[in-house]
Amino acid sequence: MAQRPKPSALSEPYLYSFASTDSGAGTTHEERRKYSATILDLIGPKRSFDFWGQDTYLGRINVLGNASIVNESYLKPLRFADSDIPLFAINFVADAWRDFVDKLQELAEKGILDPDGPYANIRAKKAFRSVTSDYHGYMTEVVYPLFTEAYLGSFEQENKRIRGVDSFLKIFTNFVNEYTESSGPITISGFIESSFCSSLNSGLVISTSEDDHNNDFTKSEKYMLDENFDLVSSVATYYGFGIDQNAPWRFVADLSSPAMKEYMRGVEIESFDLGNQNDTDDCDNPLIPDDFPVIDPFGYSAIPGLEDIVRHAVGYNEYRESLAGVEDAETTFKVFYSTAHTEVWRTDMDIIKVYFLDFYNSLVNRQPNVSVLIPDDTGICLKSRVELINRQVMSYNKFKQNGAYGDKWNLKCYYLLRRIERKMKHSNKFVKESLKELMNVYNFVSGNTDRKYLLALKYLQQDILEPITASSLTLDTVGDINRV
């Protein structure tokens, strides 16, 4: 049976926003304000997430304010997926997704869920995306072409000044100042903090559609006014999910939800027959079966009002003890990030140096020789002469701890890159004093060079750069509008 007609945009325009990629800046701003302030209150999800605002950094910036990535050993394949490649989510999120979709199918079979519409038979189409893979694509497909083609192509003298790795790094610094200020990040920390990184990188988000995030009309007409939306929105909370208010086809693990905590810690598992009693033949010899029953442990929720909800939630040891009796969200987030995530500031420079080396060597292989004008100071007729410079491929040895670009260079370079990415308008005096303190930490703390470097880097991260927060985000500074 077809769904009932939905309210039209002409008769009830207050239920629709008309912001899209085709609307002007002024219209988009006003329509998105209406969407956020009015429409969501009227027809929005029961539990919503705002990745264009306060939830931008969920699963990307930890409770300390540091960029972090998923430890992929904590991922688990998703059931109920419709994709050419296997889809993954954080392990307990995958468990919750399985039970959530199971419940929706049960409701559909009972005729409670309408058989039409986008929520009638949901399947995951997108889920976890690797930050390191996305970052690699960004560096090789965006940053490198911009540097070699747009920047060096426009400034030929800059290209000719690259005669070795030393001059390359100086020229690349000029590029970073020009590019990063207006366009994008360079380090993986900066990438995670930027709009180039997606909420899908968190492992907490499961998307069921390819629809356009920029088209607000579809969000109301196709999704939130769908006859199943209220029911699906409510049922999602029973399994610890909220819905992305700017993309109502995306389900988000709510780590503060008691239901999601049950999947993290586990529930009391029902006893069941393992089926390990063999039948016997006429001579009392055991008959060994050809196959054995699949063990699929389950239990029931202990949340008041949800005691009949089935949970395939054996739980995970990393959370079981740490979250025993814990109800506050702050502790849950701390445990989650310390378990399933890894901060990246420790390895930022190790990673970026690989790209520096690759960029430089790729440039050398593409253009091994460059002709430059050399001033003639002999006093004879010619004022200058042309000289052919042979660029040499560089090995990684220069970037090792005791190489030309070792620990102290790492610290200074990281401060430069992160300060540019964060658009920090520090005075020259502040920068010099900060660098002096940074070098003092490195030079005077006790321990070997590894310990000195790590403590200096930690000081730089925590005391000079400081944590990042979502406090400065506005409707005009959205998180992942182009990263679906």
Confidence of residue 153 (pLDDT cuts 50, 70, 90): confident
Point out which residues pair with 28 in neighbouring strands. none
Is the pLDDT assigned to residue 373 strictly greater than 90? Answer: no
Q: Count Cβ atoms within 10 A of the Cβ of residue 280 and give its class: 0-12 exposed, 13-18 middle, 19 or more buried.
A: exposed
The larger pLDDT score, comparing residue 293 to residue 152, is at 152
Query: 374 is written with which tokens?
Result: 């050399």
Span 301-313, pLDDT tens digits = 999 999 999 999 9
Q: Return the pLDDT at 287.
A: 61
Q: How many CB atoms lie within 10 A of CB 375?
A: 9
Q: Would you report the helix, strand and coil content of the chain in percent, each value rounded to 5? A: 45, 10, 45
What pTM, to 2 d.p., does this model score?
0.88
- The amino acid sitting at 462 is Q
Proportion of the chain above pLDDT 90, given as a percent: 69
Is the pLDDT assigned to residue 297 strictly greater than 60? Answer: yes
Span 28-70, pLDDT tens digits = 999 999 999 999 999 999 999 999 999 999 999 999 999 999 9
Average pLDDT over residues 412-437: 92
Q: Count Cβ atoms within 10 A of the Cβ of residue 224 and give its class: 0-12 exposed, 13-18 middle, 19 or more buried.
A: buried
Confidence of residue 469 (pLDDT cuts 50, 70, 90): confident
Point out which residues pair with 44 in neighbouring strands. none
Q: Return the pLDDT at 444.
A: 94
Instruction: Specify whether the CB–CB gap between 86 and 77 falls below 8 A.
Output: yes
Span 235-248, pLDDT tens digits = 999 999 999 999 99
Confidence of residue 279 (pLDDT cuts 50, 70, 90): low
Instruction: Specify whether the CB–CB gap between 99 and 141 falls below 8 A.
Output: no
Span 65-118, pLDDT tens digits = 999 999 999 999 999 999 999 999 999 999 999 999 999 999 999 999 999 999
Q: Return the pLDDT at 45.
A: 96
Average pLDDT over residues 353-373: 84
Q: Return the pLDDT at 286.
A: 64
Per-chain mean pLDDT for the chain: 88
Distance, CA of 182 to CA of 178 (rounded, Å): 7
Q: Return the pLDDT at 19.
A: 93
Distance, CA of 188 to CA of 347 (rounded, Å): 9
The larger pLDDT score, comparing residue 225 to residue 182, is at 225
Is the pLDDT assigned to residue 484 strictly greater than 60? Answer: no
Query: 191 is written with which tokens?
Result: 């990438």
